[in-house]
Amino acid sequence: MLPRISSRSPFIERRSFIRQTGLAGVLAAGAAPAAVHAQAALRWRLASSFPKSLDTHFGAAETFARKVGEMSGGKFQISTHAAGELMPTGGVLDGVQSGTVELAHTAPYYFFAKDPTFALGSTVPFGMNSRQTTAWMVEGNGLKLMREFYANYGVSCFPGGNTGAQMGGWFRREVKSVADLKGLKFRCGGFVGAVLLRLGVVPSNIPGGEIYQALEQGSIDAAEWVGPYDDLKLGFNKVAKYYYYPAWWEGGSQLVFLIGLKAYDSLTPEYKAIIEAAAACAHVEMQAKYDAWNPAALKTLVSQGTRLMPFSKDLMDRAFKEAMALYNEIGLRNANWRKIYADYASFQREQNFWFRLAEMRFDSYMQSVKL
């Protein structure tokens, strides 16, 4: 039986005060409740998988760290470190596992070579869009299942942003059919390479900072990154003319904050709540930035000569077929994937039923009218 708490206890009074005033208002007024002031001062380090130049991606980690500091009244400080400062892009999971850093901000599909199941915590080809992914994580079984999986690696996770649907990438020549993919040297991130390989593509996962030079020199024929805002900053339109859409492999790429279980378990309940709230702020803000900034960037790219090209339905149908076959094959040999993907796919079917009925009809109409 839980102990009874008096209605006049300091804990109840603090909660009432926060509820009436709002935590942000309390901290802004310099009157953080005693529950926060009583916490020990902490300094943690966060390793990002992204460079500072990607202000949308790296910016989510900065927002998270800033919110933790603000909500703790400055008692809990987190320093953010870009890819390469403490460890390389793909080394952040190992860094959290070993306790070198307490936190990481990353795209889980970077670690699919360890286990393809990591990709389900981010995105898979023909997977859910960003809203559906958030729904699965928050209201479905997503977080529960992924945390059970991550526990095998000594870490836990919190959603840490989403790009929304991405673009299909930059190509030096047109791709009209599946046949045009044969032998194509394509820089692609994460799990999609396993599907593209089945279509005759030669996948390459070179770091973002090396893409421009590789395209310019012709050592790769095509490359995908995220979308107009980031791609314009990276200058890909200067070395490749054709900009394809959509990225059927990233309909809503979710990032996560990975936290070491030992570090997390050492936190007080108040600090754990702050971590969760700060992650939620960063999660929402990241996609808001992309949705706000991509339209103007796309117009700029087109004005500079970029040719927008849709992937053909035949190509996407073939890619879908190969993706589904791959998932079945993985499920036969990987119990983690089999368990989580079954729930993922079931949730996606229900989401598609709803989105097809209301969301898609509304969106389709709104795209047909002139505001």
Mean pLDDT throughout 55-77? 97
Say yes or no to pLDDT of 119 above 60: yes
Mean pLDDT throughout 257-280? 98
Q: Name the pLDDT band for 350 (thresholds 50, 70, 90).
A: very high
Residue 189: what pLDDT?
78
Q: Name the pLDDT band for 205 (thresholds 50, 70, 90).
A: confident
Residue 207: what pLDDT?
76
pLDDT tens for each residue of 39-54: 789 999 999 999 998 9
Say yes or no to pLDDT of 5 above 70: no
- How much of the chain exceeds pLDDT 70, in percent? 90
pLDDT tens for each residue of 292-327: 999 999 999 999 999 999 999 999 999 999 999 999
Residue 38: what pLDDT?
63
pLDDT tens for each residue of 72-86: 999 999 999 999 999
Domain spans of the chain? 16-162+252-291
Mean pLDDT throughout 343-348? 98
SS3 of the chain: CCCCCCCCCHHHHHHHHHHHHCHHHHHHCCCCCHHHHCCCCEEEEEEECCCCCCCCHHHHHHHHHHHHHHHCCCCEEEEEECCCCCCCHHHHHHHHHHCCCCEEEECHHHHCCCCHHHHHHCCCCCCCCHHHHHHHHHCCCHHHHHHHHHHHHCEEEEEEEECCCCCCEEECCCCCCHHHHCCCEEECCCCHHHHHHHCCCEEECCCHHHHHHHHHHCCCCEECCCCHHHHHHHCHHHCCCEEEECCCCCCCCEEEEEEEHHHHHCCCHHHHHHHHHHHHHHHHHHHHHHHHHHHHHHHHHHHCCCEEEECCHHHHHHHHHHHHHHHHHHHHHCHHHHHHHHHHHHHHHHHHHHHHHHHHHHHHHHHHCCC
Residue 210: what pLDDT?
86
Residue 240: what pLDDT?
97
Residue 206: what pLDDT?
83
pLDDT tens for each residue of 233-253: 999 999 999 999 999 999 999
Which CATH number is correct for 16-162+252-291, 3.40.1390.20, 3.40.190.170, 2.30.110.10, 3.30.530.20? 3.40.190.170
Residue 35: what pLDDT?
57
Say yes or no to pLDDT of 37 above 70: no
Say yes or no to pLDDT of 217 above 60: yes
Q: Which is higher by pLDDT, 32 or 221?
A: 221
Residue 16: what pLDDT?
44
Mean pLDDT throughout 123-144? 98
Say yes or no to pLDDT of 27 above 70: no
